[in-house]
Structure 1
């Protein structure tokens, strides 16, 4: 179970790093700390703190927003999978027998 939490945390950190790197790459008018804040806000579903000024920055943020939605679902699955597995074991629903 701890391994699943570590994997989810690593996935979140990697997602934020992708957001910061992309924001710095596609919008050169922003500092790294503002790019970090923007990426964290978008990953949390709040929206950008500072709207990108370039077209490529805006397109990147649109794609990054969709990507973070997928990462959220994946992270939720990583965290809930061990719990669901334990519940299935408790009810003996995963032994594969046809009664």
Structure 2
């Protein structure tokens, strides 16, 4: 289970890095603001402020969709060993 959690942490770091790059390039944010915005979006808390540019609005839309899918995938990856173990205890394949 620790390996699965470590994989999700690496994937989360890469996702935040992608968000940071998008916020810096498309919205002109400073790095600390870009990290904060990316972390808020990825955690599901939403936007801190509405973007100014059209490209920034598109990026926020697609990054928000990605963040929702990331949450579901991360939940599945972390709890897959638990569900697998329960299925073995119940003798289900």
Classify the TM-score, shorter chain: over 0.9
Secondary structure at 1:48 match in 2: coil
In structure 1, distance between residues paired with 2:40 and 2:6: 22
- Asked if 1:7 corresponds to 2:7, the answer is yes
Deviations 1:31-75 (A, max 9, x none): 111111111111122212132211101110110000011111110
The unaligned stretches of length 5 or more in structure 1 are 95-99
Size of the aligned set, in residue pairs, is: 93
Per the normalisation by structure 2, the TM-score is 0.94
Per the normalisation by structure 1, the TM-score is 0.88
Which residue matches 1:17?
17
Whichever structure has more helix as a proportion of its residues is: 2
- Asked if 1:67 corresponds to 2:66, the answer is yes
The unaligned stretches of length 5 or more in structure 2 are none
Following TM superposition, the consecutive aligned residue runs of length 4 or more in structure 1 with deviations greater than 4 angstroms are none
Moved more, 78-87 or 40-49: 40-49
